[in-house]
Structure 1
Amino acid sequence: MIKTEDLMAFLAVAESESFSKASVKEGIQIATLSRAIARLEKQLDTTLFNRTTRKLVMTEEGVVFKGYVQKALNTLELGQQHLLSHQTEPVGKLRVDSAFPFMINQLAQVLPEFKQQYPKVELELTTNDTVVDLLENKVDVAIRIGDLKDSTLHARALGQSPLVLVASPDYLQANGTPTHSGQLSEHSLIGFSHASHLNNWYLKEPNNAINFELKASSGEVIKQLCVNGMGITALSYYMIHRELNDGSLVEVLPNAIHHPNRRESIQAVYYKQSALASRISLFLDFIQDKLILEP
């Protein structure tokens, strides 16, 4: 009989592609992980990993087996969550993923109150600035900004967060305030280095080329550069509402951007699973009225 613990050990090693990394991540000794893999390989009469002194690579059989293990462990967890969901007080784990700026500027602000109201819901938070596979990354619900492409997921609209052109008062005092989008080419513009779609500002005058003098991979870094007077950028309102309110950033060219556009929708996505549906709905109902997405 294959042990669930051995399957969990196999999945940890497969996802980490390293015994040592899996050991650190899961808090399990390398020797324990190694014995679990050895037991599985003996029971299955197949090699799951090819081992060298430098790397660990799953065999073709290992890759196939990993898919079955993920589904099996997910089914077991759903069974547990289904039983827990029948308790009167919400209880159990809820794994939430979002882009880092949304996590830090929105979710992190409202989750203390959620935990106070629902102390038995165990939140596990991850941040990814790219679209993640919910099953592969063990995510129950993900908050996504912009148009959705994954049609296999259930989506719930949380609202729209308009794109805003902003700069610091110091920058505008030193460099002047543009009066139309054609003048943006005369200014220092800040954009994204690793996500070209985020450099589309959806200007109403599309013939104006946008050349970025400064780029960064993180939206939070771009915001801080802008606050520090490095130039003009376009960010979602949910990221900058505090800075607009305290005056460290001011809006530039308020009528220059098309609204709505493909960067403005905010949605929660998840698989339709009855065992988790009530907890996900509870979470989304709670945060929806508390998110600050637009002026």
Structure 2
Amino acid sequence: MKLKLNELEVFVAVAESNSFNLAAERLDIAGSVVSRSIKKLERDLETTLFNRTTRSVTLTTEGAWLIDKARHISEEVVAIEHHFSQKHKQPQGTLTVDAASSFALHAIVPLLSEFTRLFPDVKVALVSNDSITDLIERKVDVAIRVGQLSDSTLKARKLGVVQRGLYASPSYLKRFDYPDCVTQLSKHQCLGFDKYKYLNTWPLMDDTGKRLSITPQVSSNSGETLKQMAVNGLGIVCLSNFTVQQELESGSLKPVLKSLWVSENIPINAVFYSEQSLSPRVRVFIDFLVGKIKLM
């Protein structure tokens, strides 16, 4: 028995995408080639690597044992190939980046002019998306994710951490008085999310010692929309610090109960599939973000 590297590459692609068809798209080969490759690998190993149904493809116990080893072999091969054939090539091609709307607007867009000057052969396609993205299904090269990562098939580079805080306009605070304590927020109009309800737990402690959960009087599924509501005097909003810098500098928003904010240190990561980690355009973009974005 002699295993072939391309068979392991196909195996990893199927395992990570849970689909023969998606694996074929990812590797840019025919679906029949994927099917034959997996059948040959299973025949050579004298085992079944996948449970197949009409709806899904999942790893068997033997497949789960093999996947980590196959990933490691594939990554080492990519590293060798990159060292000898890619290191002198200029990054080029289309780079698809997926990020939440607020992060795309306030953190990435201001940097794109410099990045495109440095790497003119890389065409950036920036997709603003406020939900978790399947990188394979949406053909995304890099996704920016806020919060703890749970997908073990992804590699990540940490860009930093962010804090959330409470903000309101001077006109709102003049009309309704500045709150002196957390309990007084019950007398105020709180702005919150209708879709991402976990974001309605604010970085404050209530009188029972638990994190404060609010029921918004006015809600939206967009942080940018909530910010504009706050700027226009509609109420108090809780947002990430990097989204409100311009408003704080202009004075259109003011911090509320800042001395009582609880530090959250929410991580922001650039995530990508392991075999893409050494792709020149992916590598230079992530290195650029790490060097330019300062999140605390």
Q: What is aligned with 2:250? A: 246
From 233, 237, 242, the counterpart of 1:233 = 237
Q: What is aligned with 1:280? A: 282
Q: What is aligned with 1:257? A: 261
Give distance in 1, aligned partners of 2:215 and 2:143. Answer: 32
SS in 1 for 2:115: helix
SS in 2 for 1:93: strand
Distance 1:274 1:140, change over 3 A: closer
Q: Deviations over 1:242-271 (max 9, x none)?
A: 11111111111113232125xx21111111
Q: Deviations over 1:42-87 (max 9, x none)?
A: xxxxxxxxxxxxxxxxxxxxx9663343233289xxx9x9799454
Report if the CA contact (8 A) 1:142-1:270 is conserved: yes
Report if the CA contact (8 A) 1:84-1:91 is conserved: no
Give distance in 2, aligned partners of 1:256 and 1:90. Answer: 47
From 199, 217, 220, the counterpart of 1:213 = 217
Report if the CA contact (8 A) 1:106-1:292 is conserved: no
Deviation at 1:148, TM superposition (A): 1.3
Deviation at 1:110, TM superposition (A): 0.6
Q: Deviations over 1:96-135 (max 9, x none)?
A: 1100111011101111110011101121111211111111
Distance 1:94 1:209, change over 3 A: closer
Distance 1:292 1:74, change over 3 A: farther
Deviation at 1:236, TM superposition (A): 0.2
Give distance in 1, aligned partners of 2:224 and 2:145. Answer: 17
SS in 2 for 1:191: strand
Report if the CA contact (8 A) 1:188-1:231 is conserved: yes
Q: Deviations over 1:183-228 (max 9, x none)?
A: 1111000000111111111322237552211001111100100100
SS in 2 for 1:273: helix
Q: What is aligned with 1:95? A: 96
Counterpart of 1:221, as a letter, is T
Deviation at 1:276, TM superposition (A): 4.2
Give distance in 1, aligned partners of 2:123 and 2:147. Answer: 28
Aligned pairs (5 A) from 1:45-56: none
Counterpart of 1:171, as a letter, is Y
Counterpart of 2:111, as a letter, is V
Relative to the length of structure 2, the TM-score reads: 0.70
Give distance in 2, aligned partners of 1:114 and 1:64. Answer: 35
Q: What is aligned with 2:26? A: 71
Give distance in 2, aligned partners of 1:96 and 1:153. Answer: 15
Q: Which moved more, 1:85-94 or 1:162-171?
A: 85-94
* Structure 1: stretches of 5+ with no match in the other structure: 1-62
From 267, 288, 291, the counterpart of 1:289 = 291
> In proportion to residue count, which structure has more strand?
2
Sequence identity percentage: 38
Give distance in 2, aligned partners of 1:117 and 1:222. Answer: 35
Q: What is aligned with 2:112? A: 111
Counterpart of 1:71, as a letter, is R
Matched, 1:201 2:205: no
Relative to the length of structure 1, the TM-score reads: 0.70
Number of residues of Structure 1 aligned to a counterpart in Structure 2: 226
Distance 1:74 1:171, change over 3 A: farther
Matched, 1:136 2:91: no
Report if the CA contact (8 A) 2:22-2:137 is conserved: no
Q: What is aligned with 2:128? A: 127
Give distance in 2, aligned partners of 1:85 and 1:176. Answer: 61
Distance 1:120 1:87, change over 3 A: farther
SS in 2 for 1:201: strand
